[in-house]
Amino acid sequence: MTDSTKAAPVTIEAEGEVALIRIDNPPVNATSQAVRQALKSSVEQVLADRKARVIVVYCAGRTFVAGADIREFGKPPQEPHLPDVYNVIEQSPVPVVAVMHGTALGGGLELGLASHARVGIEGLRVGLPEVTLGVLPGAGGTQRLPRLTGLKPALDIIVSGRQVAAQEALDLGIIDRLDSGDPREVAVRMAAEVLGGTLPTRRTDQIDLAPDPDLIRAEAERLAKTAPNLFAPHRCVECVEAATRLPMAEGLKFERQKFRDCMDTPQRAGLIHAFFAERAVANVPEKSETPREVTKIGVIGGGTMGSGIATSALLAGLEVTLIEVQQDGLDRGISTITGNIDGAVKRGKLKANKRDQTLGRLTPSLEMESLADADLVIEAVFEDMGVKKDIFGKLDGICKQGAVLASNTSYLDVNEIAQATSRPEDVLGLHFFSPAHVMRLLEVVVADKTAPEVVATGFALGKKLKKVAVRAGVCDGFIGNRILAHYRKSADYMMLDGASPQQIDAALEEFGFAMGPFKVGDLAGLDIGWASRKRKAPTRPAEERYVEVSDRVCEQGWYGRKTGKGFYVYEVKEISPNPEVEKFIEAEREEKGITPRSFTDQEIIDRYMTAMIAEATRVVEDGTALRPVDVDAVFLFGYGFPRFRGGPLHYADRIGAAELVKRIETYAQEDAHYWQVPELLRQMAQDGRTFDDLNKER
């Protein structure tokens, strides 16, 4: 073997009796086909040369192997398959040491598990996140990890998909040593320790694993309750159980079959779609524009939303000026932000020694003039066009040239807001979702005159705040709230026609939503929807069917959780149906001559989802959303849509356009005004196209 034999993208370097194998596949050393082939060939070449007494695998760049190559997702797998590569490593008669730094995830950690010793470099994080993509670790993770850690820690890591920090990995036995330094230097040092007998090596397949049927049974029962709609977590448990009774070779075959089973499920397809949706939405017409620099932002309004936005900006390292009109409002805002920051420390999202420094970047003020040097200002006051236009008129005279002026409005016309300034090109909507420091969605609302670099600035800010930014056009409610306003009516109609709010909520929670629509309304505050309905009342079409139950609830001052009552009654630790709501429902039925009928849970799901899909289609049709995947991202990251279903329009493809048209036409026999077939959907049904086809075309 020569001193530097290269089989790109893997390099073999000989140093005495040590063979150093370096993987160099930027940016994250993913296990592409080229890497798999080169790694297998490199190990086989070293073994064939018979000169090395120890092999060390390490990676160039900022991380160890961080997982699979996402460019290969959805494509036919190419040989050599990862399990075969790792079997060569595990069966090597020459001990193999993995030196891991950065992140070792999925196939990266499985490479380490197949090695005979694992050394972590400080800062390392490891994990098997495959379950979050609807599959399971398919290259030995479910067989080798339990042998190193024992059953309970392995089940936790594999089923949750969580990342494990270096010290915990050491404590659990995932790694054998924790070191510091350059990966190559550590590799050379660890090789010397193996040769000197101070770093023991062993084959994972030779470690005995004691069975624990009670633990396996308990985990299976837990998942049956907490993840009934998912497929992969249950198969993970089956694979770990198999590791307790099968030799490694048979266990790997069992694992591979369960992996293939996962690949064929709709959950896997939905989770993969969700994974790519987060990346696809960044592909906007303005992506090549240079964003304006933003280091100082202003937030107008210290309520729940404004305080959440300010918190998010502070955690991202920005300087924030918070504006309120009264001292008591400002004090409440400061208190809320402080509580949010303390919560971040408690949850481990912010180091305790960074708390005071983070809060130190907050400047509270009662004077709008304090925003004179802000790079970007976000207005987050209540939904009143007159108030918002007044604020933007003042900002026009206060803010420096080039400052971005943004509104957090949920529904109102950003074009009209922009007209209150002499610089409409600097105005856009930045619609955050509550709680703004937690929810990941950010709708970047582009008005008619918004400059392209201002749009790019909105996306750059979203990235800095770790949000999923989605481009939206101007209309009442933009993407998410416009669709919500439509499909929420379907729940009201079913309620009046015979389904109770509790049945509707339960059916949709069974479908996968964290909460049904009536619980969501109570959580968000019923007064928000009430204000919107009152605003739209003068232009409501005469033929629209209008349900008054929610109005009656709000008229009692019952706005949901914040008042202790809404569609439900909220005690200290209990939630129960509000019996008064049924009286409102019965009174309205009697007044309108409605005879209630029974609904099956599936009928509730079908009507609710068809209504959602219909309006989502219109949002794509008229260009409010760039592509179907943008709608999916909005609902995945802002509205609690079940991730494993991939989003409403991904789910629509499973139903099929023809079936959706048939449903709408059937429902239209009851209410032709509400149930209308979008022209785009009708055309898709005729052409046999899917929303996924539209994603590829746009």
pLDDT (0 to 100) of residue 3:
44
Residue 454 has pLDDT above 70, yes or no: yes
Residue 394 class from Cβ within 10 Å (0-12 exposed, 13-18 middle, 19+ buried)?
A: middle
Q: Which amino acid is at 680?
A: L
Round to whole Å and give the CA distance between 305 and 525. Answer: 13
Cβ-proximal residues to 136 (8 Å cutoff; 6+ apart), any chain: 130, 142, 158, 232, 235, 236, 239, 255, 258, 259, 262
DSSP code of residue 77: P
pLDDT tens digits, residue range 464-485?
999 999 999 999 999 999 999 9
**φ, ψ dihedrals at 127, nearest 5°:** 175, 165
**Catalytic residue, candidates 90, 130, 443, 615:** 130
Round to whole Å and give the CA distance between 71 and 632. Answer: 21
Q: Are 243 and 155 in contact (CB under 8 A)?
A: no
Tokens coding 145: 């990890």
The answer to whether the pTM exceeds 0.85 is: yes
Round to whole Å and give the CA distance between 422 and 486. Answer: 35
**Catalytic residue, candidates 110, 286, 324, 453:** 110
Tokens coding 326: 């009264």
Q: Which CATH architecture has domain 4-264?
A: Alpha-Beta Complex (3.90)
pLDDT (0 to 100) of residue 6:
46
Give the H or E element holding residue 405: strand 404-407
Can 110 be counted among the known catalytic residues?
yes
Section 577-582 average pLDDT: 96
Residue among 350, 364, 360 at smallest CA distance from 307:
364
The percent of residues above 90 in pLDDT, for the chain, comes to: 93
Q: Are 281 and 629 in contact (CB under 8 A)?
A: yes
Q: Which amino acid is at 634?
A: V
Q: State which CATH number among 3.40.50.300, 1.10.10.10, 1.10.10.60, 1.10.1040.50 fits the domain covering 481-623+626-697.
A: 1.10.1040.50
Section 286-309 average pLDDT: 96
pLDDT tens digits, residue range 219-250?
999 999 999 999 999 999 999 999 999 999 99
Window from 118-127, 570-579, 644-653 with minimum mean pLDDT: 570-579
Section 444-463 average pLDDT: 98
pLDDT tens digits, residue range 418-440?
999 999 999 999 999 988 999 99
Cβ-proximal residues to 75 (8 Å cutoff; 6+ apart), any chain: none
Residue 265 has pLDDT above 60, yes or no: yes
pLDDT tens digits, residue range 521-547?
998 889 988 988 998 899 999 999 999
Q: Are 678 and 649 in contact (CB under 8 A)?
A: no
* SS3 assignment, position 296: strand
Residue 8 has pLDDT above 90, yes or no: no
Fold of 296-476: Rossmann fold (3.40.50)
DSSP code of residue 646: T
Residue among 426, 418, 434 at smallest CA distance from 294:
426
pLDDT (0 to 100) of residue 4:
46
DSSP code of residue 104: E
Chain centroid to Cα 678, Å, comes to 29
Residue 200 CB neighbour total at 10 angstroms = 11
Round to whole Å and give the CA distance between 481 and 564. Answer: 25
Domain spans in the chain, listed from the N-terminal domain onward: 4-264, 296-476, 481-623+626-697
At which residue do the structure tokens 């101070």 appear? 198
pLDDT (0 to 100) of residue 382:
87
Rg of the chain taking only CA atoms, in angstroms: 29
Q: What is the DSSP string of 183-213?
A: HHHHHHHHHHHHHHTSS----GGGS-----H
Name the CA dihedral angle for 487, 493, 498, 503, rounded to a multiple of 10 degrees.
20
pLDDT (0 to 100) of residue 2:
43
Please tell me the total number of residues recorded for the chain in this structure. 698
CA-CA distances (angstroms) from residue 319 to 313, 373, 396, 463? 8, 11, 21, 16
Tokens coding 429: 């909507």
pLDDT (0 to 100) of residue 1:
43
Cβ-proximal residues to 448 (8 Å cutoff; 6+ apart), any chain: 415, 418, 424, 474
Round to whole Å and give the CA distance between 250 and 61. Answer: 36
117-121 and 96-100 beta bridge pairing: parallel
Round to whole Å and give the CA distance between 89 and 31. Answer: 15
Mean per-residue pLDDT over the chain, rounded: 95
